[in-house]
A = this chain, B = another copy of it.
Amino acid sequence: MSWKVNVEKKRAQLNAKIPSEWRIDGGKLELLKAEKKNLDLNLDKLCTEAENEITHSTILKLRDELIVKNLTCYEIAIAFCHRAALAHQVINCLSEIMFEEALKKAQKLDEQRPDFLPPLYGIPISLKDQCNVEGVDSTCGYLGRAFKPKKREEESLIVRHLREQGAILYVKTTVPSSMMATDTVSNTFGITLNGLNQNFSPGGSSGGEGALIAARGSLLGLGTDIGGSIRIPSSYHGLYGLKPTDSRLPYLRVDNSFQGRELIPSVIGPLARNLDDLRYFMDVMVNICKPWIDDVKCVPYHFDSKSKELHKNYVVGIWYGDGVITLPPGDVRALRMCEDLINSTLGMKAIRWEVPVEVNKELHEIAMDTDIADAGIEIRREFEASGEPIIDILKPVILEKGAEACSVNQWWALNKRTYEAKIAYREYYNSLEPTERPDVIISPLTLTPFRPGDMLATTLRYILFVNVLNFPSLAVPITKFNRNVDGQMDTSKAQTEEDRIVSNYWNELISSDSIQDFPLSLQIMSPTYDDNEVCTFGSWLMQNLQIS
């Protein structure tokens, strides 16, 4: 079968770019794979102390070191290239390797060091596979898109901006074929594992990105989010992940599925270990790069990278569930932590965010209807182009062969329905007394991680509605799963089969040791599309949760 030959060819092409001195030998590799939980510590042992200092740092600290010449761009680049190469061998998180170009660029930056260093000078930034970079593929997990290296003029605008600001491009990271799934699997690259805990999926679709950053192979990378694809891998790796409002960062010449399907826009945004880094990055990409000059979809605005002060009479909505899926004890505990902190803070108030259940249901149904609008025609065509078989995780978005795509009139009707649902959501917000209208809303996100293969045991009900509403949302790691505190759920009370599946899966996970200390994240959303507000509040929240 020729498609398998091409898979081998693509994998060989990728692996050939790992220098032999960075290869982990077979026996040691087996051990690293077998020990599911301590990848970070184990990789530290394979790197030099100097490298570990770099990969354990932050972008802002590295920049300081570069400015005072304590570090060179080359030292930083090699530390991250090495670490990424090691991590990849264990968790299979890379789709393209550009070490050679990266190290050359770093060397050149050191040799031609200007007096004023551009804001990302010498900072390695990892890229989700969709970002077009000259000379390498953007397969998006499709074998049919392999061996078609991008030309310079095809480079994503955001990649050009990264180059202009001095960033080092060194890897692209794995995605599930089509990006329309929350696990990270493709025929071309196989399965990517979680970078913190190999019992679990890294989530998706920016799964390779999340796993790489968790394994310290990157400090910050670009993902995209059309249905949780930034927030889910962030959640599953204890990272910060910002899904901006549409039109904040440029998507120009970023490859994707369903291009032109604008109803629920895919957005590009950062995943990072450190929230200050993330905000600094946004500052650079917005205020310095001014993406609206080249990308007509972007709107001019100012990103505030620093404020951690909240205004007076700050109101936070706490969302204890949509009335459809019962929240597991872990999420309830995490939400309570936030609620208690806010209510014990002078000048702040937590209110219960209680959107009518029918509105929640409608938003979710719109997302589902949107995803199957073409009955899977486009994705099927992509698989057929290479002859590779359709992968299981895409079954929810591919209807049976012969199923009809919706007509253009039905599509317009779905657009209208979506607008009406957004208005209904806004009407709930406006129905609150002005002093009760939340500045931000804290919402559940992923509820539980999942083991490879178990994707359908989790729910997207706390995820997709955010994309339909086009709210900015920041994934934040609030606490960790704790078997000693978070008990079993009473599944006899489950309202629906869907609710029962989620509760059962919680019970299954919480009864095993593998979930202990796995990060438990929530998301901070702005009901008024205020991307700055979710970050400012995020900084405040994380600072104060640590103190309390």
Contacts and interface: CB of A to CB of B under 8 A. Distances in A.
Interface stretch (A348-356, A416-424, A440-448): A416-424
Given A293-B430, A430-B294, A374 B260 contact: no
A456 interface: no
Contact of A378 (B409, B422, B426): B409
Given A260-B412, A407-B405, A408-B406, A423 B296 contact: yes
Q: Can you tell how many copies of this chain the complex includes? A: 2
B299 A419 contact: no
Nearest to A416: B260
A297 interface: yes
A261 B296 contact: no
Contact of A373 (B260, B408, B418): B408
A66 interface: no
A58 to B, nearest CB: 33
Contacts of A258: 412
Interface size band for A: 35 or more
A410 B422 CA distance: 26
A414 interface: yes
A377 interface: yes
Given A260-B412, A260-B414, A412-B260, A419 B374 contact: no
Given A423-B252, A430-B294, A259 B299 contact: no
B377 A419 contact: no
Given A407-B408, A408-B406, A297 B260 contact: no
A30 B161 CA distance: 68
A274 interface: no
A262 interface: yes
Interface centre among A374, A377, A407 (most CB of B within 10 A): A407
A426 B296 CA distance: 7
Nearest to A412: B260
A409 B375 CA distance: 10
Interface in A285-330: 293-297, 299
Nearest to A378: B409
B423 A260 contact: no
Contacts of A417: 260
Interface string A225-249: 0000000000000000000000000
Given A294-B426, A374-B409, A408-B410, 19 more contacts: A258-B412, A260-B411, A260-B418, A262-B415, A296-B419, A296-B425, A296-B426, A299-B299, A373-B408, A374-B407, A374-B408, A374-B412, A377-B409, A378-B409, A405-B407, A405-B408, A405-B409, A407-B408, A408-B411
The 9 A-B residue pairs with the shortest CB-CB distance in the complex, in nearest-first order: A260-B415, A260-B416, A260-B412, A296-B422, A259-B416, A261-B412, A408-B411, A405-B408, A374-B408
